[in-house]
Amino acid sequence: MYAVSVSDHFMIAHSFRGEVFGPAQRLHGATYTVEVEVKRPALDANGIVVDIGAFRDVLRAILAALDFRNLDEEVQFAGVNTTTEVLARHVFDVMAERIRAGALGGDAAGALASMRVLLRESPVAYAAYEAPLS
């Protein structure tokens, strides 16, 4: 299986509901490093998994919609604890939509087998979401 990964980062503010979150129940900031990896069993006619430039541009556009936002005020996250796990799934879902819409060009929509989105919230802690794309 071939794989290509791109990375970027975004900064947000948010708070959590529930005693399990301790002081994170208060409004606080977070800077996430994001890595998105796509896999496919065979390379395309150009000898690539996807165009890395297009892949990075799509990721940047997705993260731009979150960057420097207070997620507590964003309608799409109303009533949701925006944990690292939840944000990894959100990035996955939006990226999958863009792939299906042809944003990575060529035959990517039908040829990519799976995708993994990993969000690092610190050098020692991260969460990821991975699933097939078919």
Fold of 2-132: Tetrahydropterin Synthase; Chain A (3.30.479)
Rounded Cα distance between 44 and 61, Å, is 25
**Mean pLDDT for all residues in the chain:** 96
The domain limits of the chain are 2-132
For 32-87, the pLDDT digits (tens) are: 999 999 999 999 999 999 999 999 999 999 999 999 999 999 999 999 999 999 99
Q: Distance between CA 10 and CA 18 in Å, rounded?
A: 25
- pTM confidence score: 0.95
Phi-psi region of 102 (alpha: psi -120 to 50; beta: other; left: phi over 0): left
